[in-house]
Structure 1
Amino acid sequence: MNIELADLRLFVMIAECGNLTHGAARAFLSPPAASARIKAMEQEIGQQLLVRKNKGVELTPSGDALLRHARLVLRQFDFLTDDMTNAQMGHLRIYANTTGVTEFLPAILARFLADHPGVRVDLQERLTQEIIRAVADGTADIGIISGTEGRDGLERLRFATDRLMLAVPSGHPLAHHDQVSLEQTLAFEHIALHDGSTLLDFLRRQLRRSAFDRQLRIQVRSFEAMCRLIEAGVGIGVVPESAALRHLQTMDITLLALADDWAVRDRSILVRRWADLPQSAQRLIDLLVEKEAGGAEV
């Protein structure tokens, strides 16, 4: 089978856009030229890859399989190019949970990018299952999750502990406790992060298991906004320890340990295969592990 890398890139762009015209534009080709190249690929492979529809295109089962492999082939070629040209150059794609994106990755990325000025980083906040799928299919080079979820075939490296705490206003009826269970908090209004955040997705599962049947009182975009509203007496909220301790320094809130087993989880790095990563990605992972080994709170 003889397929050029340029054709694989075109196919991935069309598949991701769900539209031949838009995918062709991303590849700087005319729609007829892109269509001809896709047809040539289908003839070479001996399988139909796309079904043309009124509003775009849909992948066939063979197209789905090609997309998975094409992403991996193209990323490995990008890694090869990065390592052969300059270890200080490249493009890393990182999918991470809410705590990673907002709490510890900014400081680590600042240090990493200062040492690697030619490296570009695409950092996206995603739900845990999206992170796992993205690493597995090559959409993301590095995934950062909390908990035990994973997938066979991926390499996992634990690098920190993700401890969740309950933040309440000073003087709140729960404030005199050192430790509470989630069930003990159900009578009070909860404040949480926005829809699409990993922590909210995780917390909603725990609330459902505890028979919390009301709507969340308010949802916000950041842990700082959560703690401000908690300080003002609007409600209570579950917050990662790193964020909670930082905001405790400037806000009148009280932090309580959560007695539930799920409140303490491992933070892990997911990759397809460490040995296949470019040097820049390996160095970034080293920084994450070194920060934990040094005893710094992340």
Structure 2
Amino acid sequence: MRYDLVSLSLFVAVAETQNLTHAARRKHTAVSAVSKRIAELEQQVGTQLMLRLPRGIELTPAGHSLLYHARQIFRNLEQMEEELNDYAAGIRGHIHIFTISAALMHCLPRAISQFLTHYPQTDIDIEEQTGVGVVQGLLEGNADVGIFSSWTPASGIDVWPWQQDQLSVLVWHGHALAARASLQLADLLDEKIVGPHRDSAVSHILEREARRLGRTLSIGLRVSSFVSMAELVSQQLGIAILPVNEIAPASLHRGVRAIPLAEPWAKRELLVGVKAHALASPSVKTLIESLTAANRRGQEEEGSGSVVTLR
């Protein structure tokens, strides 16, 4: 069944003014033309849409339903027009990104910089969140794109693999563990630890694995910034466990050493997610393609024998 946009527009005007004459005046057309269009709509849907009363009109239940859907249609048309006007003006869309701090520390800024090289007039906002906050932002429509780890449950989200990293242990150079080539969580259970944000995925994983060993971690300080964690370690206030691969090497304090955490659960993937790819804007789809294409190139080069470190 096909609906004429002009007829729907006249119907909305009549419903909002509750008067054929007022609607005709608003739409700059004759009352008879408005009345004819409404009658044709009623004939098309096969039921009465409005009651003609002495002092105006009143919508029937079917009329209220049509009004709701007609408004949705016109809102979508307005959104489409605004987006196309942005393209015509050279503005390729607006993207709101929620990301965990690990990605924001290193790999995301570089990826966004590369994207903006090709699409310099795209407007991008970036907001730091915990992994749970990223997924919640996507589900609630507050974020267009999310960057979070594979440790975070993401039911209802379309995701793509992006980067990989592994947890490492930061110790100061004079620490008893500093000479070790790798460490396990059991080696750290008696250590004072500088921990991440309590709601972070890293914190949940560490606490879960410590419980499996029948212990709890001794966390004396909690900070959200990985750079701050490294600074606190350098001051010998504790050791830290964090995805150090995601930190720019220049950001690490000279007084600390990163030792890989040799646990199977210490490896993770960073994911790119959207609520529904099919409904995403062209600019969002272009960004996702840019991010995942870089990951695919890295995997192809690894397969051909080249060693590629993705950060």
TM-score band, normalised by shorter chain: 0.5 to 0.7
The amino acid of 1:297's aligned partner reads: L
Which of 179, 187, 196 is matched with 2:182 structurally?
Answer: 179
| Residue in structure 1 matched with residue 310 of structure 2 by the alignment | 297
Which of 233, 238, 242 is matched with 2:236 structurally?
Answer: 233
1:139 deviates by 2.6
Of the structure 1 ranges 210-219 and 235-244, higher mean CA displacement relative to structure 2 is found in 210-219
- Equivalents in 1 of 2:122, 2:77: separation in Å? 16
Which of 278, 281, 284 is matched with 2:281 structurally?
Answer: 278
Which of 130, 135, 138 is matched with 2:133 structurally?
Answer: 130
The amino acid of 1:166's aligned partner reads: V
What CA deviation, in whole Å up to 9, does each residue of 1:194-251 have, x standing for no partner? Answer: 4554544544444444444355222234222211221222211112132456158751
Q: Are the equivalent residues in 2 in contact too, given 1:164–1:258 (CA < 8 A)?
A: yes
The amino acid of 2:193's aligned partner reads: H
- Equivalents in 2 of 1:111, 1:89: separation in Å? 15
- Equivalents in 2 of 1:116, 1:148: separation in Å? 31
- Equivalents in 1 of 2:181, 2:75: separation in Å? 52
Which of 148, 157, 164 is matched with 2:160 structurally?
Answer: 157
- Equivalents in 1 of 2:91, 2:239: separation in Å? 45
1:143 deviates by 1.5
| Residue in structure 2 matched with residue 267 of structure 1 by the alignment | 270
Q: Are the equivalent residues in 2 in contact too, given 1:95–1:143 (CA < 8 A)?
A: yes
Unmatched runs of 5 consecutive residues or more in structure 2: 1-10, 14-62, 66-73, 299-307
Of the structure 1 ranges 175-184 and 163-172, higher mean CA displacement relative to structure 2 is found in 175-184
- Equivalents in 1 of 2:75, 2:261: separation in Å? 44
Q: Are the equivalent residues in 2 in contact too, given 1:83–1:279 (CA < 8 A)?
A: no
| Residue in structure 2 matched with residue 217 of structure 1 by the alignment | 220
The sequence identity of aligned pairs, in percent, is 22
- Equivalents in 2 of 1:210, 1:155: separation in Å? 34
The amino acid of 1:283's aligned partner reads: T
Distance 1:161 1:177, change over 3 A: same
Distance 1:160 1:256, change over 3 A: same
Distance 1:297 1:155, change over 3 A: same
- Equivalents in 2 of 1:132, 1:92: separation in Å? 16
The amino acid of 1:133's aligned partner reads: Q
Alpha-carbon RMSD across the aligned residues, in angstroms, is: 3.8
| Residue in structure 1 matched with residue 291 of structure 2 by the alignment | 288
Unmatched runs of 5 consecutive residues or more in structure 1: 5-42, 46-72
The amino acid of 2:83's aligned partner reads: D
Q: TM-score, normalised by structure 1?
A: 0.65
1:187 deviates by 0.4
Q: Are the equivalent residues in 2 in contact too, given 1:220–1:226 (CA < 8 A)?
A: yes
Distance 1:284 1:76, change over 3 A: farther
Q: Are the equivalent residues in 2 in contact too, given 1:92–1:121 (CA < 8 A)?
A: yes
SS of aligned partner of 2:292: helix
What CA deviation, in whole Å up to 9, does each residue of 1:89-131 have, x standing for no partner? Answer: 3221222222122322122223334543443323222233332
- Equivalents in 2 of 1:175, 1:79: separation in Å? 58
Q: Does 1:193 find its partner at 2:223? A: no
- Equivalents in 1 of 2:309, 2:76: separation in Å? 33
Distance 1:145 1:164, change over 3 A: same
Aligned length: 237
Q: Does 1:166 find its partner at 2:172? A: no
SS of aligned partner of 1:174: coil
Of the structure 1 ranges 178-187 and 190-199, higher mean CA displacement relative to structure 2 is found in 190-199
SS of aligned partner of 2:177: coil
SS of aligned partner of 1:159: strand
The amino acid of 1:236's aligned partner reads: I
